[in-house]
Amino acid sequence: MPSIHPLIDNGITKGDPNFPGGTLHCRCPSDQVVVGLKSNVAHNHACGCSKCWKPAGALFSIVGVVPRDNLSVQANESKLAIVDSSAIIQRHACINCGVHMFGRIEKPHAFHGLDFVHVELSDQKGWQEPQFAGFVSSIIEQGFDPKGMDEIRSKFKSAGLDTFDALSPPLMDLIATFTAQKAGVKFSNL
Ligand SMILES: N[C@@H](CCC(=O)N[C@@H](CSCO)C(=O)NCC(=O)O)C(=O)O
Ligand SMILES: [Zn+2]
Ligand SMILES: [Zn+2]
């Protein structure tokens, strides 16, 4: 069975709801890029998309969000470069080790103001545990045999995570709300 992600393969460890945040480090042997987070993450999830950073051998990324004002680069910022400037999420990666330190949205978007981060880059314990799996079918686009998808979804289910082929319902509702408001739609409960 391929690895979903080390934080999920052997069972999920619950986070600490009062965890105050901590630091993320890139994987360079020296002169690491260090990012400080002044809060825990929210909406932490497994992401099967092709763009989010994942460790070698894992099929999924684990990625959560923090308010952008709670994030600061504390060391070796000069080693960061944007992976794909045409993407909605501008992922700032270490040019030496390739790890994505944070992803930021600069355009008008439902998630503007939130930065995307990977808590496995931290040595501290207590970060919010993964809440769901998103973009699950996207692993097929990267070469995963579709015949194996039942097994992948069952594995998430055994770990207690719901699976979606986009994001979770609350996040999809945020995106739809943003789209409706941009179009001037008035809400009414019919
Ligand atoms: N099938 C595509 C999906 C990519 C995608 O839309 N990814 C989402 C989720 S990333 C974290 O949850 C997204 O919002 N992407 C915006 C961006 O990456 O800039 C694929 O696999 O590439
Ligand atoms: Zn690095
Ligand atoms: Zn993703």
Domain boundaries, the chain: 6-178
Task: Supply the pLDDT for residue 85.
Answer: 96
Question: Which residues of the chain carry a pLDDT beneath 50?
Answer: none
Could you list the residues known to form a binding site, using ranges.
26, 28, 47, 49, 52, 94, 97
Confirm or reject CATH 3.90.550.10 for domain 6-178, answering yes or no.
Answer: no
Tell me the whole-structure pTM to 2 decimals.
0.97
The β-bridge partners of 47 are 61, 134
Could you list the residues known to form a binding site for Zn(2+), using ranges.
26, 28, 47, 49, 52, 94, 97
CA of 91 to the centre of ligand 2 (A): 14
Residues 45, 3: Cα–Cα separation, whole Å: 16
Task: Centre a 10 Å sphere on the Cβ of residue 1 and count the other Cβ atoms it contains.
Answer: 8
CB 38 within 8 A of CB 68: no
Residue from 5, 45, 49 to probe ligand 1 pocket by mutation (most atoms less than 8 Å from CB):
49
Ligand 1 site, CB within 6 A:
47, 49-52, 63, 87-89, 134-135, 138, 141
Task: Supply the pLDDT for residue 164.
Answer: 98
Residues 100, 115: Cα–Cα separation, whole Å: 12
ipTM: 0.96
Residues 54, 180: Cα–Cα separation, whole Å: 33
Residues 159, 169: Cα–Cα separation, whole Å: 19
Task: Supply the pLDDT for residue 190.
Answer: 62
pLDDT, tens digit (0-9, with 9 covering 90-100), for 132-164: 999 999 999 999 999 999 999 999 999 999 999
Task: Supply the pLDDT for residue 1.
Answer: 76
Residues 9, 19: Cα–Cα separation, whole Å: 23
DSSP string, 24-43: EE-S-SSS--EEEESS--EE
Show Cβ contacts of residue 139 under 8 Å, excluding neighbours closer than 6 positions: 48, 59, 60, 152
Task: Supply the pLDDT for residue 137.
Answer: 98
134-167 CB burial, b ≥16 within 10 A, e <16: bbbbbbeeeebeeeeeeebbebbeebebebbeeb
The count of C-alpha atoms lying within 13 angstroms of the C-alpha of 154, restricted to the half-sphere facing its C-beta, is 6
